[in-house]
Structure 1
Amino acid sequence: MSEASSVHRRLGATDMTLFQRAHDILAAKTNKALDAAEQPDEMLDLSYEQMLDQLTKVRQALVTVAASRKQIELQEQQLQHSADHLEEQAKAALGLGKEDLAREALQRKAAAQTQIDGMESQHQQLNEEQEKLEQTLAALQERVNQFRTQKETLKAQYTAANAEASVNESVAGISSTLGDSGAALQRAQDKIANMQARAGALDELLQSGVLEDVGGDTDDIQKELDEAGSSADVDRELATLKAQIGPASPTPELPAADR
């Protein structure tokens, strides 16, 4: 298999693999399934560098083939020049009547022509190799140009997708925070309402007298009112007893001990 055909086939397969991998990785990143160790933008730049390296190798191969072809051409020219010179020498020898010398010159010319004929097939093969490499180089150069444009487009899409994902995550975090804040606010409002209701109920009970304010002492007025109430009760009970026993009788003396 020729060098140009092998290089062309390897480059074509590698190029298709790089493009497919770039698209697959971008899709995976968009779906948040990309491995964290591999970033699409870095992978695309690496693939582009690999393609440039392949482009350089194809150019080097083309230079090598072209140099070999040129060397064959120079050898052919030298041999052809030698064959032409030997033919002139054979003619000169015959002109001098030296047939043996003329025959020797013609034999050498024939050997040179044999080498020329052998080199012609090599020359033709190198020409074909050079043409294939030139076609491969042109196709690869076009792919590199296309990949460079697509690479920047894919990187822009990745950046946009990454930014959108970050925004969505931020929004989700804000929503969660707002939900927690709302719940905390509602709990605080409920607690305040319960405290206000309890304070109102206690105030009503204190005002109605059901509960006594144990925080302070009874004032003097209240004591006098309590004592007046007690005296009135005693007077009423005494009047009731007098009515029951009739007119007053001498008051019995109390025992000496009681006096």
Structure 2
Amino acid sequence: MGILSRASYVVRSKLNAVLNRAEDPNETLDYSYEQMRDQLQEVKQGIADLTTQKKRLEIQKRRLEENVEKHNEQAREAVRQDRDDLAREALEKKKSKMNEIEDLEAQIADLQESQDRLVEKKDDLQSQIEEFRTRKETLKARHDAAEAETRVSEAMTGAGDEMSDVTRAIERSEEQTEEMEARAEAMDELQDTGAFENALSEEDRIDRELEQGRADTEVESELATLKGELGEGAEADGADETESESSESSATEPETEVADAEIESELEELRGDEE
């Protein structure tokens, strides 16, 4: 319901209440019921706002985590290239991003607690509204029945207004009751279809996923570049290690032959002792 429509509805309700005050004393109950429904709507809006803010912080956290991994790889590559200055700078950036992640996690946890409290409040308030609605309708029905009976008795005894006034009062009461019941059923139907739970629009979600996809593509491209660079460095290191192993094996061959001769000599002595 728009602002103008709601204002018009309130004005009409007040005018009808003034005109029908003598035969409709249930205005207070109806007004209280509307107030409770307004409070419920405010709570749901608060939940939607908290959910939106929490999702934004979670997106920021994921981006920072990606930066941490990037700086970690930068530090490793810098160490491989004997660039301690670059490695130190990368580690400092990594530490800064990790501190930001800790702050975001604390904020996200606070928002989650607030959201849980609001959801609990919404559920309690909704239960109260349903209970109040049932009780209100029961009280109105009892009042209308008692009023109708009184007016009929007064009309029949000549102590009250005309019977037509009683009939009109009953008709107005029934119309108002049916309108209220129809609105209550409409609200229940909207609740069942999940209309109130759609806190974020579809367009916002698509935008976020597209943005995340672009960020992932950039990260994957940078990762592929780093892997290519690391592959070239690994081939060069492998060649150096092969040459080093060859020189070491050639240097240790005489030592190995001497050790083998000593072992064979000792083995012959053990065989002679056994014979």
| TM-score (structure 2 length as normaliser) | 0.48
After superposition, residues 80-119 of structure 1 pair within 5 angstroms as: 80-119=65-104
Inter-partner Cα distance in structure 1 for 2:95 and 2:139: 65
Q: Which amino acid aligns with 1:139?
A: D
Per-residue CA deviation, residues 190-233 of structure 1 (Å, 9 max, x unaligned), is xxxxxxxxxxxxxxxxxxxxxxxxxxxxxxxxxxxxxxxxxxxx
CA distance 1:174–1:49, change in 2 (3 Å): closer
Per-residue CA deviation, residues 155-176 of structure 1 (Å, 9 max, x unaligned), is 101101211221232244269x
Residue 257 of structure 2 aligns with which residue? none
1:65 aligns with 2:50: yes
Q: Which amino acid aligns with 2:52?
A: A
After superposition, the CA RMSD in angstroms is 2.2
1:132 aligns with 2:132: no
CA distance 1:96–1:80, change in 2 (3 Å): same
After superposition, residues 171-190 of structure 1 pair within 5 angstroms as: 171-173=156-158
Residue 170 of structure 1 aligns with which residue? 155
How much has 1:71 moved relative to structure 2? 1.1
Q: Which amino acid aligns with 1:51?
A: M
Inter-partner Cα distance in structure 1 for 2:38 and 2:53: 23
Inter-partner Cα distance in structure 2 for 1:119 and 1:38: 59
Inter-partner Cα distance in structure 2 for 1:72 and 1:89: 26
Residue 129 of structure 2 aligns with which residue? 144
Per-residue CA deviation, residues 12-68 of structure 1 (Å, 9 max, x unaligned), is xxxxxxxxxxxxxxxxxxxxxxx9479333332222222211111100000011111
Inter-partner Cα distance in structure 1 for 2:115 and 2:76: 40
Q: Which amino acid aligns with 2:115?
A: Q
Q: Which amino acid aligns with 1:67?
A: T
CA distance 1:83–1:168, change in 2 (3 Å): same
33, 42, 47: which is aligned to 2:27?
42
Inter-partner Cα distance in structure 2 for 1:160 and 1:137: 34
Q: Which amino acid aligns with 1:105?
A: A
Is the 1:93–1:101 Cα contact (8 Å) retained in structure 2? Answer: yes
Q: Which amino acid aligns with 1:132?
A: R
Residue 154 of structure 1 aligns with which residue? 139
Is there any run of 5+ residues in structure 2 with no aligned partner, and where?
Answer: 1-19, 161-275
Give the number of aligned pairs: 141
| TM-score (structure 1 length as normaliser) | 0.51
Inter-partner Cα distance in structure 1 for 2:46 and 2:26: 31
1:53 aligns with 2:75: no
Inter-partner Cα distance in structure 2 for 1:174 and 1:124: 69
CA distance 1:99–1:122, change in 2 (3 Å): same
Residue 61 of structure 2 aligns with which residue? 76
Inter-partner Cα distance in structure 1 for 2:71 and 2:55: 24
CA distance 1:92–1:38, change in 2 (3 Å): farther
Per-residue CA deviation, residues 81-132 of structure 1 (Å, 9 max, x unaligned), is 1111111111111111111001000000111111111112111110100000
Inter-partner Cα distance in structure 1 for 2:125 and 2:89: 54
